[in-house]
Amino acid sequence: MPDITRDEVAHLAALSRIDLSDAELDHMAPQLSVILDAVASITGVVGDDVPATSHPLPLTNVFREDVVTPGLTAEQALSGAPEVEEQRFAVPRILEEEA
Amino acid sequence: MSIDPTRATAAQMADALASGETTSVALTRAALERIAATDGDAEGGIHAFLHVDAEGALAQAEASDARRAAGAPLSPLDGVPVAVKDVLATTGLPTTCGSKMLEGWVPPYDATVVARLKAAGLPILGKTNMDEFAMGSSTEHSAYGPTRNPWDTTRIPGGSGGGSAAAVAAFQAPLALGTDTGGSIRQPGAVTGTVGVKPTYGAVSRYGLVAMANSLDQVGPVTRTVMDSALLQELIGGHDPLDSTSVVEPLPSLVEAAQQGATGDLTGLKVGVITELGGDGYQAGVRARFTEALDKLVAAGAEVVEVSCPSFVHALAAYYLVMPCEASSNLARFDAMRYGIRVMPESNDSPSAEAVMRATRDAGFGDEVKRRIILGTYALSSGYYDAYYGTAQKVRTLIQRDFDAAFESVDVLVSPTAPTTAFKLGEKLDDPLAMYLNDLATIPANLAGVPGMSLPAGLAEEDGLPVGFQILAPQLADDRLYRVGAALEAALEKEWGGPLLDQAPEVATLTSTEGALR
């Protein structure tokens, strides 16, 4: 498997919404290459005939009765928010135009 | 007979409460005093706790004593104090997951296991330290500083649940809750000389557990004896409608299994030693104690055979793909909008939500969390998905098949819990792969959802540190862990003349010149 380059790590960090500093990128890229090299050992060890397991229990369609149960109050739901306005989560601007 | 209020087992404490010899307030106060005397902070002491709730715990203890005095119904562990890993949601108590991201966050609801502890009258002493978001094998990845191993404070207590294991080993708490995604209950148990159980996947509710990898995470007990773990798992386990992956069918009685095992008779039991989890790469003292423990099982009447699980050699690689993939997805929820910290980017007067998110996630997450998020994002990207995540899921099937085949011929499987005893703090901090190798023997159980227990097997002669013995059983047969574990514990303690923790050095108290701020 190919090494993971510094540029790729920067791209992945952007996809993951993490601002990595140059120092972090320098440090992390070689570490990730070592880890990837180790885990890449499994590519090709199983054939197409083996089904995938995503979950240890054979559970499907777990339903409950459709009854109303108490939920959090607005105050509780907002209690951990960094910023609150008029009983809502206040967020930074979400559109791209400059303010 | 009077009990020692901190060194007694939870079962002994429960008996002493029932007989009126002690009170929950006395036990809780003794635990809190022990914590105050030994726990210290990031700089020194055991540092097993991130938050101690003396007031809340004493109020719960008073309520338990009052219920007992009034003749109200009581749970088997009513009044016995407990510590809770900081990854489980607790109302009124901060829940940080060892991360700056959740610094100061107080959840608006209780995890189901926490609600069950409260309903059963167990005073909650506080929240225990852990690797950030449960990612690590040493507790050094906590954003609040490492926990130290009570056997040797220059060494790691294991991870990610090093705080829970160290608290129990240092007699700060008789009971603790941990969580185990790849070994985070069992490996800390092994290196601190305590008992840790990862129940069958789904046997204990995950509601209110801050998820790392949903298909692997499991809550379980951390204690000093097999019986105490049985009592605690019975109390927190069972179906929970709030967790859709929770198992509906009840488990066989775990306490009865432990009682049966403690008689020391394992006649008719077949034990399989996993070929792939031992030998080269395992420390000499670990191998020696493991082999002697096998002799004890034979002496108790069990038949011991070797069993090969050939796909286990791929378990570590499969795990370090499945787990980061699930973690990268789970940790997307930390977006600086609804809970946790919000960090504004520098040099931007009107930053976008996305810029705030990026700055917050850089400041709020530590190195190991970032590594795993990026690794998971990579393995899930188009073009790599089939080769990495897809293959890892197929390997998971092979590992389940190995377990199924093995359990056709044996009742339980056994191995050392960890390849080495506790390593030095800092030793593997900048070598992630070396850290990952510690989970070699514990990971297969998580991938297959089977239950596993680690219990103390003795001390390695080369360093005098605890060695863990791992027992694995088929899904929903957690009772077998307790039967075999209790039998082995009884045989070993007979030889040692008492619990292994009696051989641990006295934990330095911070009022002594030696212990304070070393």
Report pLDDT digits (tens) over B119-135.
999 999 999 999 999 99
DSSP B388: I
Q: Above 70 in pLDDT, residue B515?
A: no
| Residue, of A64 and B96, whose pLDDT is higher | B96
Choose, from B24, B64, B184, B229, the residue flagged as catalytic. B184
CA–CA separation, B176 and B85 (whole Å): 7
Q: With a threshold of 0.90, does the pTM exceed it?
A: yes
* Cβ count near A22 (within 10 Å): 9
- Identify whether A66 is part of a domain: no
CA distances from B131 to B59, B75, B324 (A): 30, 32, 15
CA distance B518 to chain A (A): 31
Q: Above 60 in pLDDT, residue B514?
A: no
Please check whether residue B56 touches A, CB under 8 A: no
β-strand partners of B176: B83, B222
Q: Above 80 in pLDDT, residue B1?
A: no
Half-sphere exposure of B336 (CA within 13 A, CB side): 26
Distance, C-alpha A3 to centroid of its chain = 22
Mutate to test the interface with A, among B375, B389, B440 (most CBs of A within 10 A): B375
3-class DSSP state of B456: strand
β-strand partners of B424: B155
Look up residue B8 and give its two tokens: 């007694």
The model's pLDDT over B486-509, given as tens digits with 9 standing for 90+, comes to 999 999 999 999 999 999 999 999
Residues of A in contact with B332 (CB under 8 A): 17
C-alpha gyration radius of chain A: 23
Choose, from B64, B99, B138, B160, the residue flagged as catalytic. B160
CA–CA separation, B233 and B122 (whole Å): 13
CA–CA separation, A71 and B233 (whole Å): 27
Active-site residue, B85 included: yes
Look up residue B214 and give its two tokens: 């949903």
Residues of A in contact with B378 (CB under 8 A): 4, 8, 12, 32, 36
Please check whether residue B443 touches A, CB under 8 A: no
* Cβ count near A8 (within 10 Å): 17
Q: Above 70 in pLDDT, residue B452?
A: yes
Active-site residue, B347 included: no
Is the Cβ–Cβ distance between B397 and B452 less than 8 Å? no
Q: Above 70 in pLDDT, residue B306?
A: yes
CB-based burial label for B255 (10 Å; 0-12, 13-18, 19+): middle
3-class DSSP state of A19: coil
Instruction: Determine the pLDDT at residue B516.
Output: 40
Confidence of residue B350 (pLDDT cuts 50, 70, 90): confident
- Tell me the average pLDDT of chain B: 96
Look up residue B79 and give its two tokens: 């009044």
Half-sphere exposure of B386 (CA within 13 A, CB side): 4
Look up residue B28 and give its two tokens: 């809780």
Mutate to test the interface with B, among A4, A8, A17 (most CBs of B within 10 A): A17
- Identify whether A17 is part of a domain: yes
The model's pLDDT over B209-228, given as tens digits with 9 standing for 90+, comes to 999 999 999 999 999 999 99
Confidence of residue B518 (pLDDT cuts 50, 70, 90): very low
Contact A42 B396 (CB under 8 A): no
Q: Among residues of chain A, what percentage have pLDDT more than 90? A: 66
- Identify whether A19 is part of a domain: yes
Q: What is the mean pLDDT of residues A35-53?
A: 90
Q: Above 90 in pLDDT, residue A47?
A: no
Instruction: Determine the pLDDT at residue B211.
Output: 96
Length of chain A equals 99
Active-site residue, B118 included: no
- Identify whether A60 is part of a domain: no
The model's pLDDT over B273-303, given as tens digits with 9 standing for 90+, comes to 999 999 889 999 999 999 999 999 999 999 9
Instruction: Determine the pLDDT at residue A64.
Output: 85
Q: Which fold has domain B10-313+396-503?
A: Amidase signature (AS) enzymes (3.90.1300)
| Residue, of B39 and A64, whose pLDDT is higher | B39
Residues of B in contact with A24 (CB under 8 A): 362, 367, 370
CA–CA separation, B348 and B350 (whole Å): 6
Residue of A nearest to B202 (CA): A57
Of B42, B32, B7, give the one whose Cα is nearest residue B517. B42
Q: Above 90 in pLDDT, residue A95?
A: no
Instruction: Determine the pLDDT at residue B69.
Output: 98
Q: What is the mean pLDDT of residues B385-389?
A: 91
Confidence of residue A99 (pLDDT cuts 50, 70, 90): very low
- Identify whether A10 is part of a domain: yes
Instruction: Determine the pLDDT at residue B383.
Output: 87
Domain containing A15: what range? 6-42
Q: Above 50 in pLDDT, residue B266?
A: yes
- Identify whether A83 is part of a domain: no
Instruction: Determine the pLDDT at residue A98.
Output: 53
Look up residue B382 and give its two tokens: 């188009």
Query: Domains in chain A: how many in total?
Result: 1
3-class secondary structure per residue, B134-179:
HCCCCCCCCCCCCCCECCECCECCCCCCHHHHHHHHCCCCCEEEEE
- Tell me the average pLDDT of chain A: 90
Q: Are strands A88-89 and B412-416 parallel, antiparallel or unpaired?
A: unpaired
Q: What is the mean pLDDT of residues B386-396?
A: 94
Residues of A in contact with B108 (CB under 8 A): 72, 76-77, 79-80
Q: What is the mean pLDDT of residues A82-91?
A: 95
Q: Above 50 in pLDDT, residue A1?
A: no
Residues of A in contact with B398 (CB under 8 A): 46, 50
- Identify whether A14 is part of a domain: yes
Instruction: Determine the pLDDT at residue B344.
Output: 94
The model's pLDDT over B161-213, given as tens digits with 9 standing for 90+, comes to 999 999 999 999 999 999 999 999 999 999 999 999 999 999 999 999 999 99
Q: Above 50 in pLDDT, residue B95?
A: yes
Q: Above 90 in pLDDT, residue B510?
A: no
Size of interface A-B (CB pairs under 8 A): 179
Q: Above 50 in pLDDT, residue A25?
A: yes
Q: Please report how the helices B226-236 and B478-496 are oriented relative to each other, as an axis angle in degrees rounded to 10.
A: 150
Choose, from B85, B118, B127, B198, the residue flagged as catalytic. B85
CA–CA separation, A18 and A28 (whole Å): 13
CA distances from B466 to B191, B194, B305, B347, B398 (A): 5, 9, 25, 52, 32
